[in-house]
Amino acid sequence: MPRPEFTRSLLAPRHWPAWLGVAAVWLIAHLPQALLPWLGRRLGALVARVPSARRRIAAANIALCFPALDPTQRAALVDANLRDIGMMMVEFALGWLGSNRRMAALPTTIEGLEHLEAARARGKGVLLVGGHFSHLELCARLVSQRIRIAGMYRRMDSTVFEWVVLRARLRYAAAMFDKDDIRGTVKYLRAGGTLWYAPDQDMRSKDTVFVPFFGVPAATITATHHLARLSGAVVIPFFHRRLPDGSAYVLRLGAPLEDFPGTDVLDDTARVNACIEQMVREAPEQYLWVHKRFKTRPPGLPPVY
């Protein structure tokens, strides 16, 4: 995918507020590294204090997924998750517009690269399957320093941010594929490419099935099964977390899923959800609980939100 071209229409007055937002993102990405954890904590404290629908959504998701926690423990996890949104804001800015030198200076450990190298030695494409954690954009950028990856994405509502962010991603990604560009994605994987993909959001797509996520029926897209089937790619779980003090990042590539894809799309999709659930349990406060994961419900079940 070529970098999007700049057009004069992006300077229209209706886009000026978006350009102010871009300027704020650029400023955050160029602050001294020592200030960023402090800024993330301050922003997170503000998010946690201000009443919003985010708290209600996160609380509903956490209550469903962690029924064994008592009310005090659940409230503490909700607070920690909302505070983590502050770090997410900082990390998105850094992932999009931070310099390569800044990326190289971030303390990062990458485990399991041997699984990727073994797949490539066999001439296989690789699907790195992960979840929507607060630092997904930054960690995609960090892992790209070691391996060439592509990504799938959904277009942004803002024309300005779409132009800025897509250009930024194409600085480090081998390619970016629209979520509906299945043909291009399959072609890339067949050629031995590596694609980062997160199938853990309720997309309200026709290509979904209900499979468990933390024991709760969750509408889940079946694309992981179909992409692997059509391309012959190996599916490797990809997990990333921020250390509790915010000082470093740990990225882990797991062993490839065995006998994947199988003949049963329901079983394969449930296996993917189980992998993501295991990732979430390792760092539950860093997961994107403010997304309406259970927005679509099986017939007969009451709404969650």
pLDDT of the residue at 174: 92
pLDDT of the residue at 286: 97
Cα–Cα distance for residue pair 163/211, rounded to 1 Å: 36
Task: Give the count of beta carbons closer than 10 Å to the beta carbon of residue 189.
Answer: 23
pTM: 0.93
Task: Give the count of beta carbons closer than 10 Å to the beta carbon of residue 54.
Answer: 18
**Ranges of the chain with pLDDT below 50:** none
Structure tokens at 35: 């200030």
150 phi and psi, to 5 degrees?
-120, 170
Sign of CA dihedral 132, 137, 140, 142: negative
DSSP states along 91-137: HHHHHHH--HHHHHHS-EEEE-HHHHHHHHHTT--EEEE---BTTHH
Q: Which residues contact 211 (CB under 8 A, 6 or more apart)?
A: 217, 218, 220, 266, 269, 270, 273
SS3 state at 276: helix
Please give the torsion angle defined by the CA atoms of residues 143, 145, 150 and 151, in that order, rounded to the nearest 10 degrees: 50
pLDDT of the residue at 83: 96
pLDDT of the residue at 245: 81
pLDDT of the residue at 204: 77
pLDDT of the residue at 4: 85
Residue pair 166/175 in contact (Cβ under 8 Å)? The answer is no
Task: Give the count of beta carbons closer than 10 Å to the beta carbon of residue 164.
Answer: 22
